[in-house]
Amino acid sequence: KHIINSYEHTNDTARNNSDCPDVVLPEEIFFTISIIGVLENLIVLLAVVKNKNLQSPMYFFICSLAISDMLGSLYKILENILIMFRNRGYLRPRGNFESTADDIIDCMFVLSLLGSIFSLSVIAADRYITIFHALQYHSIVTMRRTIITLAVIWIFCTGSGIAMVIFSHHVPTVITFTSLFPLMLVFILCLYIHMFLLARSHARKISTLPRANMKGAITLTILLGVFIFCWAPFVLHVLLMTFCPNNPYCVCYMSLFQVNGMLIMCNAVIDPFIYAFRSPELRDAFRKMLSCNRYQ
């Protein structure tokens, strides 16, 4: 696919003109990290589902991000399984089943990025309301509105993901795919600037807020930083592959394709540790799950 696997189709002449050899990582590493990512995020989802104390809008938004991370890990697991079946002769190369399965797997990858973008954006909006509209928070962010918001987000992401995979060979699709990343950053940056300006004029009011509210904003900042670090190299790869596939300097960067993919897999592993480190409630829920204690 043009978006997901485009590096494989990079011009051979450009590769030869580049002094940078391809960086190849063992598939076993990808598979292991993906398995860990799926298990960790599955534990997050189970903790929220089984613990009534965690069934609040904030943790539902975190579950949305966990689902996005899990899809990114499942993408690599299913891709490895598909390759294994093909190499053993169970699938006809470039057959109808393989093409359909490849489209579904690619859709999961795109859905992972889109889901992460919108989940982080809605978490940022939630933190903003928590800090500056604390007294009206429970009347603004109700469970009904939370569920509706998440349903709209995932319906939109699913439709967009399918469309992007179908029209992945068109440049406008690639531009749309990559533009969502900076748009999300601009939205959250504007929200942060507005929060900073309001914080200066409401310093006394902010200081009286529960510590957990400000801690949530810090957690969001950490999650956002990890997301940018892990996904930005791949987004840059897509842009370079689209607009300068034959440039030796671009090809040199694109030789790190598998390293960029590894960073994406690592994002799914790191996020649950951030939840656990920043949230005593989740830590307690994890501890109960691992010790097989019953939830009240």
Question: 3-state SS of 141-162?
Answer: CCHHHHHHHHHHHHHHHHHHHH
SS3 sequence of 31-69: HHHHHHHHHHHHHHHHHHHHCHHHCCHHHHHHHHHHHHH
Separation between Cα atoms, residue 268 and residue 108, nearest integer Å: 14
- Span of 41-45, 107-111, 163-167, 276-280 with lowest mean pLDDT: 276-280
- Span of 37-46, 117-126, 224-233, 236-245 with lowest mean pLDDT: 236-245
- Distance, CA of 94 to chain centre: 29
Tokens of 223: 């999650």
Separation between Cα atoms, residue 144 and residue 41, nearest integer Å: 24
Q: Decide if pLDDT at 213 tops 60.
A: no
Q: What is the pLDDT of residue 22?
A: 76
pLDDT digits (tens, 9 = 90+) for 121-167: 898 888 888 877 777 888 988 999 999 999 999 999 898 888 888 87
Q: What is the pLDDT of residue 196?
A: 67
Q: Decide if pLDDT at 8 tops 50.
A: no
pLDDT digits (tens, 9 = 90+) for 249-267: 888 888 888 888 888 889 9
- Regarding predicted confidence, which is higher, 277 or 253? 253
Give the end-to-end CA distance of the chain in Å, rounded to a whole number.
Answer: 48
Closest CA to 76 of 144, 27, 22, 145: 27
- Regarding predicted confidence, which is higher, 253 or 83? 253
pTM across the whole model:
0.82
pLDDT digits (tens, 9 = 90+) for 25-35: 887 888 889 89
Sorted by sequence, the CB contacts under 8 Å of residue 173 that are 6+ apart come out as 2, 3, 163, 164, 167
Q: Decide if pLDDT at 204 tops 60.
A: no
